[in-house]
Amino acid sequence: MSDSSELQLFAALALAGVLAVVLLLVWTRRVGAEKRHINQLRDREDRLKLALWASSEQYWDYDLKTKHMRRIWVDSRSNRTDLHVLSTTDNDHRIHPDDMPQVQAKLRDHLNGQSELFISEHRILDPRGEWLWVRARGRAVESGADGKVRRIAGTARDITLVRQAERERRIAIAVLRSMNEAVAVLDRDFNFISINPAFTRTTGYTEREVIGQSASLLDSTQHDVAFYNRIRQKLANEGHWAGEMWQRRKNSQEFLCQIESSATESIYGEHRVYIAVITDITQQKRAEQELRYLANFDTLTNLPNRTMFSERLSRAIVRARRQDHRIAVLFLDLDRFKDINDSLGHTAGDRILRAAAMRLQETVGEHQTVARLGGDEFTVVLENLDQPGDADKVAREIIMAFEAPLVLDDRQEVVVSPSIGISLYPDHGQVPTELLKQADTAMYQAKAAGRRTFARYDDSMEIANRRRAQLSSALHKVLDRGELRLVFQPRLSLTTRRITGVEALLRWTSEEYGEIPPIQFIPLAEESGLILEIGEWVLREACLTLQRWHQAGLTELNMAVNVSVLQLLRGDFSEIVRRALEDTGVPPHALELELTESVLMANAEQTSAKLQSLREMGVSLAIDDFGTGYSSLAYLKRLPITTLKIDKTFITDLNRDPDDTAITTTVITMAHSLGLNVVAEGVETETQLRFLDHFRCDEIQGYWLLRPVDPDTCLQFIRDWTPAKANGAGPQAAILSPAAPPPADLTA
């Protein structure tokens, strides 16, 4: 080989070597560049992952044409060093139907160029099937040849928890604002940070007036400063304080409140704050006091009620036991109060109860317990009695005190009498209930004894009480069983010496209990209201009998029928009378209705109208048992009555008791001056008859003439009557009235 060819080969080899080096260099550089690029990419990807992880955002990329949604996010559970990336591509991206319209609108705005960014908060369905709130931000990233946007991309963030917290916060604020309780937030030095509207309503201070001020602004003078300091210290130490305290409003008015306060760290950042809920309980306390009053006192009379009475009686018993004293329980019931109440009206009834309560308290003195058990029932506890008789004395004083009318207002006065029952500790019972029950039993005995009186309990009353109950139930069957009948007692005119009429008197022969006197069963019938039915039966039966006698020729004869005031007050009594007269054919003037005076007097105004309509019908009206009530003759002037019957108690003692004699003569004279016909009841002796004759009493009725007898015997007696008999030594044949005292004994 030539030198030149060797040179050429060497040059070629050198070139090739250079080329190879250059190529290697280029290759290594490229590889290096690629490596760097990949590293760069990886780095970016790491940063993106980190950014997604740190920001809790997800990346999204939406193809408007294919409707493909691509999403990339970091699994929230992965940790910083091992970030787990998740991605999906779907074309079923679900937005909550409620949010869809606003998402579309916002997208449209962005695509139209009206908004620079697409920003939306809406709900999307997550893979678990739950709706999540997201806040999405994005913008158009690619457009097609036609200039239309093809892709839009951005980030989104799960804001479900934030939304929830925000919602809760809004609710909390709304609650706070609408709360009735005042709420104040205080800093750790007890200065106001925030208050709600109720706070302003309660205290009078507005937000501007209190913020920054110390809570001691509200301290009241009801407590000393140390009190408030103690509470604040306690709250600071224990983180909680609840209780009642007095506070002061802006207008200086003090109010009692219930405070519930606690320390909390969370809501106002790191600083400790106190939240105080303040409830004004001034009204509530007042209401509680009122309730306590209502529970123990009767609001009508302001007297202690049954509860308070029992309590006081219990305490009195304890004292009496310790001091070895006696106490008395007086049970007082106003006579015929129900009728008075029905006729005068409930307002007047209430006034009567109030006036009676006052009268009672005045009489027994303010140191004795007077209570109202309800209705017209009152009780009195008398302590430190030396002997049982002391209670009787007080009962007597009470009855006397009620003789003077109760003044209801400047126009109205009413007389009511009480019936009083007495029980004694330790004689009759050891406990309040027992003593009360026995006093009640005794009170019934007082009523049965004719009212306006008192009775002291004794064991036999229990028996009497039971009998009352038995009779009362037997009375209900009385009309069905036909156990009632009428007896008749004639009335004699002292001027003509003729029999003018008869009084119908009711008799009950019970299948179980035998003969029951009217004085026992009439009050029971009145109590149960049965008297209405029974009274109507009496009226018809009496009219039927009279009609028969009229037909038998005794056309001048009148019939007197006793009427309970209940009959007069309830229902349309004049209509009942009119029908009875019509049905039996008795002329109205032949009928006289007898009413007892006490209730007529108490209800003068009310009954007067009812009596008037009876009078207009032509029926005569008599006041029965005159003298047993408290009516003055002046009162009588107001009533359209025709006859006055002087009670037999006055007649019995004529000539013996100068008072009774004086009363009877006065009554006769005054009644005459009022144009009334005067009848003396219960005339048993000729002496009485002569006396009455002398003082020009018009008529008499009583055993001297005839005892009440059955209709046939009565008719026979009237037929056989001759005026001459009135001048004899007593007209009645011994057979007719075997129990009548022989006149000879009495004339002596």
Q: What residues make contact with ligand C2E under the rule CB under 6 A?
A: 489, 505-506, 517-519, 522, 535, 538, 562-564, 594, 624-625, 648, 681-684, 702-703, 708
**Minimum CB distance to ligand C2E smaller for 435 or for 531:** 531
**How far apart are CB 463 and ligand C2E at their closest, in Å?**
22
**How far apart are CB 449 and Mg ion at their closest, in Å?**
16
**How far apart are CB 676 and ligand C2E at their closest, in Å?**
17
Distances from the Cα of 144 to the Cα of 89, 510, 598, angstroms:
21, 120, 116
Span interacting with Mg ion, options 175-183, 408-416, 578-586, 619-627, rule CB under 5 A: 619-627
**How far apart are CB 439 and ligand C2E at their closest, in Å?**
27
C-alpha 98/C-alpha 108 separation (Å) is 17
The reply to whether 597 sits near Mg ion by the rule CB under 5 A is: no
Residue 598 contacts which entry, Mg ion, ligand C2E, none (Cβ below 5-8 A, type-dependent): none
Determine if the peptide bond prior to 426 is cis (ω within 30°): yes
**How far apart are CB 337 and ligand C2E at their closest, in Å?**
18
Residue 16 contacts which entry, Mg ion, ligand C2E, none (Cβ below 5-8 A, type-dependent): none
C-alpha 300/C-alpha 298 separation (Å) is 6
Span interacting with Mg ion, options 237-245, 452-460, 568-576, 620-628, rule CB under 5 A: 620-628
**Minimum CB distance to ligand C2E smaller for 429 or for 682:** 682
HEC profile for 409-458? CCCCEECCCEEEEEEEECCCCCCHHHHHHHHHHHHHHHHHCCCCCEEECC
Q: For residues 372 and 353, is the Cβ–Cβ distance under 8 A? A: yes
Q: Give, as one character, the DSSP assignment of residue 741.
A: P
Q: Give, as one character, the DSSP assignment of residue 530.
A: T
C-alpha 360/C-alpha 378 separation (Å) is 9
Residue 475 contacts which entry, Mg ion, ligand C2E, none (Cβ below 5-8 A, type-dependent): none
**How far apart are CB 458 and ligand C2E at their closest, in Å?**
25
Closest CA to 272 of 230, 234, 239, 231: 239
**Which residue's entry shows tokens 């097609």?**
144
**Axis crossing angle, helix 389-401 with helix 346-364, rounded to the nearest 10:** 140
**Minimum CB distance to Mg ion smaller for 435 or for 654:** 654
Residue 421 contacts which entry, Mg ion, ligand C2E, none (Cβ below 5-8 A, type-dependent): none
Residue 506 contacts which entry, Mg ion, ligand C2E, none (Cβ below 5-8 A, type-dependent): ligand C2E
**How far apart are CB 523 and ligand C2E at their closest, in Å?**
9
Residue 682 contacts which entry, Mg ion, ligand C2E, none (Cβ below 5-8 A, type-dependent): ligand C2E
**How far apart are CB 519 and ligand C2E at their closest, in Å?**
5
Binding mask 638-677 for Mg ion (x = CB under 5 A): ----------------------------------------
According to DSSP, the residues that pair with 696 across neighbouring strands are none
Amino acid type, 476: H
**Minimum CB distance to ligand C2E smaller for 371 or for 595:** 595
**Minimum CB distance to ligand C2E smaller for 54 or for 519:** 519
Binding mask 677-696 for Mg ion (x = CB under 5 A): ----x---------------
Among 536, 625, 684, 686, binds Mg ion (CB under 5 A): 625
**How far apart are CB 391 and ligand C2E at their closest, in Å?**
30
Closest CA to 652 of 713, 724, 702: 702
**How far apart are CB 561 and Mg ion at their closest, in Å?**
8
**Minimum CB distance to ligand C2E smaller for 279 or for 687:** 687
Among 158, 335, 594, 686, binds Mg ion (CB under 5 A): 594
Query: Cα 36 vs. chain centroid, distance in angstroms?
Result: 93
Binding mask 531-570 for Mg ion (x = CB under 5 A): -------------------------------x--------
Distances from the Cα of 680 to the Cα of 225, 269, 601, 631, 707, angstroms:
85, 103, 20, 17, 15
Distances from the Cα of 517 to the Cα of 6, 451, 507, 537, 649, angstroms:
175, 17, 7, 18, 18
Q: Is 381 left (phi over 0), alpha (psi -120 to 50) or beta?
A: beta
Residue 730 contacts which entry, ligand C2E, Mg ion, none (Cβ below 5-8 A, type-dependent): none
**Minimum CB distance to Mg ion smaller for 341 or for 701:** 701
Please, is 524 exposed, middle or buried when counting C-beta atoms within 10 Å of its C-beta (0-12, 13-18, 19+)?
A: buried
Give the helix/strand (H/E) hosting 368: none
Residue 703 contacts which entry, Mg ion, ligand C2E, none (Cβ below 5-8 A, type-dependent): ligand C2E
**Minimum CB distance to ligand C2E smaller for 124 or for 646:** 646
Query: Cα 672 vs. chain centroid, distance in angstroms?
Result: 54
**How far apart are CB 492 and ligand C2E at their closest, in Å?**
12
| Closest residue to bound ligand C2E by CB | 702
Binding mask 216-255 for Mg ion (x = CB under 5 A): ----------------------------------------
The reply to whether 339 sits near Mg ion by the rule CB under 5 A is: no
**How far apart are CB 557 and Mg ion at their closest, in Å?**
17
**Whole-number CA gyration radius for the chain:** 54
Among 526, 624, 684, 686, binds Mg ion (CB under 5 A): 624
Helix (H/G/I), strand (E/B), else coil: 594: strand
**Minimum CB distance to ligand C2E smaller for 404 or for 519:** 519
**How far apart are CB 624 and Mg ion at their closest, in Å?**
4
Residue 138 contacts which entry, Mg ion, ligand C2E, none (Cβ below 5-8 A, type-dependent): none
Q: For residues 734 and 721, is the Cβ–Cβ distance under 8 A? A: no
Q: How many CB atoms lie within 10 A of CB 369?
A: 21
**How far apart are CB 616 and Mg ion at their closest, in Å?**
23
**Minimum CB distance to Mg ion smaller for 73 or for 488:** 488
C-alpha 713/C-alpha 735 separation (Å) is 11
Show Cβ contacts of residue 495 under 8 Å, excluding neighbours closer than 6 positions: 698
Query: Cα 21 vs. chain centroid, distance in angstroms?
Result: 115
**Minimum CB distance to ligand C2E smaller for 703 or for 717:** 703
**Which residue's entry shows tokens 């005459």?**
672
**Minimum CB distance to ligand C2E smaller for 124 or for 492:** 492
Residue 519 contacts which entry, ligand C2E, Mg ion, none (Cβ below 5-8 A, type-dependent): ligand C2E
Show Cβ contacts of residue 604 under 8 Å, excluding neighbours closer than 6 positions: 635, 638, 639
Q: DSSP for 276-294?
A: EEEEE-HHHHHHHHHHHHH
**How far apart are CB 558 and ligand C2E at their closest, in Å?**
15
Give the helix/strand (H/E) hosting 484: strand 484-493
Q: Which residues bind Mg ion (CB under 5 A)?
A: 562, 594, 624-625, 681
